[in-house]
Each structure stands twice: as structure tokens, then as C-alpha cells.
Structure 1
Amino acid sequence: MYVLSNDMTDENKMVRFMQRIEAGEKIEASDWMPEEYRLTLIKLISMHGISEVMGALPEKEWVPRAPSLQRKLGIMAKVQDEMGHGQLLIRVVEDLMKPYGRNRADLMHDLFTGKLKFHNVFHMKTKTWADAGMIGWLVDGAAIITQTNMLGASYGPYARALKRICAEEVFHAQHGEAIILALAEGTKEQRHMIQEALNRWWEPLLMFFGPASKETTGSSKQDVTIKYKIRTDTNEQLRQRFLTKYIPRVRALGLTIPDSTLAFHEDKNGWVYKQPDWNEFKKITRNEGPSSQERLNLRRVSYDNHAWVRRALAQ
């Protein structure tokens, strides 16, 4: 534990805190930290943790409908991993919330009342088995890009949790890719299924990284996370990395990306693409997406039905 002198002013504590950040030191739960840093971490990690929990639900829908026993076992294991990631991250954020007298029950309340958001992609419908493949291949691929960007996060508990999570997400992406490759080598109908799924998922995938700048959002959240070295790259840099990695892979399967404007321009710092509908993005994050209420209701019913377990553990 890093201890500061009790007679130091908050201003001096802040100076020393930023010196530690710049030196690459890890901040621990028991260390002094400015409120802005603590609140930024709480918002980021709680959203990440709840997204892992809610992100298991679209694939859970396909456990009984998976086309073979092997696929059923694979997707069940993935759902279990995602729930485990959520539990791990919620435990990390609980330590940060202690000074405010809040715990995981408060997080669940915030989720059900709409105060706590979860990733836009997990508000979408999964219409076919190809959707399960797209989630594993491209959604988890996008998640790996955002999460590896924070492996060196200044907050130690989060960085250590991400090390385990990212290792498992690599297997998840391989699981999704295996589904897509099997369908791509299948019948004409199966290839059409993949293309139709890609058409529906492309815009949500671009939204996944968030708007490019504070001019778009009216805020500077990404600037704060970079300032405190919680992450290193901006939303747009992450989106460009995703496009560079996956556009060749998608095209290699003979699939058509649903964007006639898509092109690479070195003089424009990478890929030029059709902007997603950011008004639709805001609507989704208000829990007005295609499956928002269905997923929230499922989570709410599960939470209520297992209240007796929490009571028993509290005895």
C-alpha cells in the first residue's frame, strides 16, 4: 500500500498522484486517489462488468438451438466465461465504491433503472446461428482491441483482471471465427445467412467504440481516461485498428461489407467509412434498442428469483 503523509494538502497529493501515474506506477484500491479518477474508474469498470453479464444473454439464447452437441458445449462454455468476467469486474468496482457506501446491489439497481449502461451490441437481436458466430468473431474481436488497450491501465486491480479476461476473449474470438468459417464453407443458404448477419451487425460494430470526439458527444470522457493513463488510444484510433484487422478477413470470405463508401486513404489517416447513426446509438443506450427491455427483464427476473441465495450467503 502506498501511504501519503497526513499533513499533505490535496493539491500536493494530486501532484504526487500524477507523478506516480506518469512514472507508470500502479494505483491500488487502498491508495489515495482524486475523486475524478475514482468516479471515472467506477463508471468505466461497472459498465464493462455489466456488459459482460448482459453480453452473455444474446448467446445464451442459442444454447438450446446450437446445431450440434460440440457447438452447444462450446457456446455454453463461452457464456460461462462471460458471466465470470462480469463477476470479476464487479468485484473490482466494489472496492472503488466503498467510500460511497455502495455495493453490487446498487449496481444492479442502477442497471434496472437505466442509470448504468451496457454496450450497444448487446441490445441487438440474434436472429440466426450466424449471429452467434458474428458476436464471437467480430464483437469479441472488437472487445479484444478495446481491452488490450487498457492492459497497462494505471489502476492495478483493473489491469490484472484484464490480463485474464483478454486471454479468454482470444478463445472466444476463435470460437466465433470457427462458426463463421464452417458456415462460409457450407451451402448457399448458409453463406447468405452470414452476409445477412454481417449487414445487420456492421453498424453496431462501428458504434461499439463510441463516437470519435467530444465534439460529437459533448463530453471529454475519453480525454479523462487518457489523462490518467487508464487507456492509451482514442475511440477513433481503436475503430481504425478494428477496420484494419477485420476488413481483409471479412473480404477473404467473399463477404461484402455493407458500406459503398469504405476505402483506405493514407492521407486521411486510415479508413474512410459511412458514419453510423449516432442518434440511434443514443437511443440504444437509453435502453430503447431492439432487445433492450427483453434482456433487462430476463436479468431482472433472474435477480429476483435468486434473492434467496443472497440472503442465505448473508447469514
Structure 2
Amino acid sequence: MTADVLLEKDLQAQFEERIARGDKIEADDWMPEEYRLALIKLISMHGISEIMGALPEKEWVPKAPTLYRKLGIMAKVQDEMGHGQLLLRVAEDLIKPLGKNREDLMQDLFAGRLKFHNVFHMATKSWGDAGLIGWLVDGAAIITQTNMLNASYAPYARALQRICAEEVFHAQHGEAIILALAEGTPEQKEMVQDALNRWWEALLFFFGPPSSDTTGSTKQDITIKYKIRINTNEELRQGFLSKYVPRIKSIGLTIPDPTLRFDEETEKWIYQQPNWENFKKIQRNEGPKSQERLKLRRTSYDDNAWVREALSARIG
């Protein structure tokens, strides 16, 4: 065994001891490749998803029913873009030692190597969809992100403190829209029910497949091993159902799953499994709006290249 291999094993053992103690890892600390790559995949996907997630709601800025609602959704879109930029800076610190930069992340997105969250491949057909994204999609995001507030990677944990605080306001914004519609005319109530019917599968997809799923993903195992996150995908999904099923029913909406029930014996929700083949299609950028939104992001990136060049020249 070579000296380099022995040194690597020693560093790995020391790193795992730090994780076990609850130490926080900074960007310039030594870290195993497995840890770095897991962080890059998670944080870059999170950052890109914040940016791509602004696109479905951006479509409703000019169509919001009142000036008050227009200002609210504009502020939300602005926040999401800011979250994306913050997270991409965190990801950039991780990829620099690999000789990469933010340009590489964007090219990975356009080439399909970097994914964005499955919910943001979906169409927004009504104002009810805009409200539901704020209430339930952002609600699911809060559950996922608070699961990582104490992440072992300190820069990500610090970024999440700000992001989670702002996501709470986004969820309240969405809930206010949904409540106004649910208490409105029969047509408005139907709009909300229709949105829920179309988005329910995507909401179950949000947390990813359970570890026993045949997709064979071990990402959640690695992130739990290194204390980047606490709970599994299924535990997060169960938390979402516990929090939101009673709220959804309380405003007179029907969840489009006749099998849904809480099992007292196991203390778990029993629900109809979504079609995980659809999830895999979305992962391949074959969702309803995948290519349209990628094209919009690519066009925006190309059209604004002159801004990046001007800033680079000034900094240089």
C-alpha cells in the first residue's frame, strides 16, 4: 500500500470523526471525493431549481388578477432568483478545485447533465396553479430544506437559514391565494380543485423515490451518511402528508387518491404510489414543459452574455 493511499485513508477516518462529532465543514477543508460530489450534485441542482422554478410563476406575473397579487408574485419570483444565485455561489466554491466554474454548471444544465426539480417541468394552466405552487410546492420545499438546516457543510447550512425564512413567506403567499379562491365563486373553487388534481402526482414525486424503489439511487444514503440531511425521502413525504392532508381537506378540497388514509397501527400514511416511470421521464427532461423552459433559460443566458463579459472585463 502506497504512502498516498495510507494518507487518504487517514484523512478519510479523520473526516468521518469530524462528521460524527457534529463539526462543520468549510469550503477550504479537506473532504473526500464522495462528499464533494454529493454536495455538488445536491447544491447545484437546488440552485438551478430555484432559478427554473421562477419560470412557471413568472408566466402569471402579467396575468395576476389584481395589482396586489401582481406585486406579491413578482416579489416571490425575485426571491427565487436570488436563492438560485446564492446557491450557485456555494456550488461554485465546491467545483473550483475541479477546474470548473459557473459557466460549466449552466452548460451542464443545457446538455441535460444537471437536472432541475421535477415539479418545475409542469405546466401552470391557471391562477390556481400559481397559488398551489406557493402553498404546497413551497411547503414541500420547506420540509425538505429544514431537513438540512444543520447540514455538515457549513456554507450550505448558512445559505439555507436565509432561504427557509423567505420560503415561509412564499408559502403564506400561496396559501392566501388558495384560501381566497376556495372561499370564492363555484368557478374559483373548481379552479383550485382542478389544480390539485393535476399537481398531486408531482407533489408526491417532490421528495424523490423511496430507497426501496427500483431506481437504485443511493444519493439519499450518502447524504445521510455524511449528515448533510437527516430524513429519508419517504420520511419527508410522510411529514408532508401529515402536515398538509388535514389542511387541504379543511378548505373543502378532495385529494385525488381514494386509497389515502392514515394507518394507526404503523403510524404512516397509506397512499397510491405515483407512476415512477413518469418521474424517470421528467428526469430525462421529457416532462410537459421541460424543453420549453430549458429553451427559455438558454435564450436568456445567451442574450445576456454581454453583461457577463462586461462585468468580467471590469473586474479584470
TM-score, normalised with respect to structure 2: 0.97
User: What is the rounded CA distance, in whole Å, between the counterparts of 1:7 and 1:190 in structure 2?
Assistant: 65
Q: Match of 1:271, SS?
A: strand
Find 1:312's aligned residue among 299, 310, 313: 310
Counterpart code for 1:108: M
* Cα distance, 1:12–1:297 mapped onto 2, change above 3 Å: same
In structure 2, the residue matched to 1:274 is 272
- State the secondary structure of the residue aligned to 1:196: helix
AA partner of residue 231 (structure 2): D
Deviates more, 1:54-63 or 1:285-294: 285-294
Alignment partner of 1:291 is 2:273: no
In structure 2, the residue matched to 1:54 is 52
Residue in 1 that maps onto 2:15: 17
Q: Give how far 1:288 is off.
A: 0.5
Secondary structure of 2:285's partner? helix
Residue 12 of structure 1 and its aligned partner are, at CA, apart by 1.1
Using the aligned pairs only, state the percent identity.
74
Report the Cα offset of residue 267 of structure 1: 2.4
* Unaligned runs of at least 5 residues, structure 1: 1-5
Structure 2, gaps ≥5 residues long: none
Distance in 2 of aligned mates of 1:145 and 1:243: 11
State the Cα RMSD in Å. 1.2
The one-character-per-residue Cα deviations of 1:86-136 (angstroms, maximum 9, x if unpaired) are: 000000000000111111111110111111001110000000000000000
* Amino acid aligned to 1:290: P
Contact 1:214/1:220 (<8 A) preserved: no
Name the CA distance, whole Å, in 2 between partners of 1:157 and 1:42: 12
Distance in 1 (alpha carbons) for counterparts of 2:22 and 2:264: 32
Give 3-state SS (helix, strand or coil) of 2:214's partner.
helix
State how far apart, in whole Å, the 2-side matches of 1:251 and 1:101 are. 51
1:129-166 Cα deviation digits (max 9, x unpaired): 00000000000000000000000000000000000000
Contact 1:251 1:257 in 2 (8 A): yes
Q: For residue 80 of structure 1, give the secondary structure of its aligned residue in structure 2.
A: helix
Query: Alpha-carbon deviation of 1:266?
Result: 2.7
In structure 2, C-alpha distance between the alignment counterparts of 1:9 and 1:269, rounded to whole Å: 47
Within 5 A, what are the aligned runs for 1:110-129? 110-129=108-127
CA displacement at 1:214 relative to structure 2: 4.6
Deviation at 1:221?
1.1
The Cα shift of 1:18 comes to: 0.8
Is the deviation greater in 212-221 or in 126-135?
A: 212-221
Q: Matches of 1:300 and 1:111 in 2, distance apart? A: 9
Structure-1 separation of matches of 2:5 and 2:255? 60
Instruction: Say whether residues 1:162 and 2:160 are aligned partners.
Output: yes
CA separation in 2, counterparts of 1:144 and 1:134? 14
Partner of 1:249: 247
Pick which of 165-174 and 216-225 moved more: 216-225
Structure 2 counterpart of 1:102, one-letter code: K
What per-residue deviation string (whole Å, max 9, x for no partner) do you get for residues 9-40 of structure 1?
11111111111111111000000000000000
TM-score (norm 1): 0.97
Q: How many residues align?
A: 310
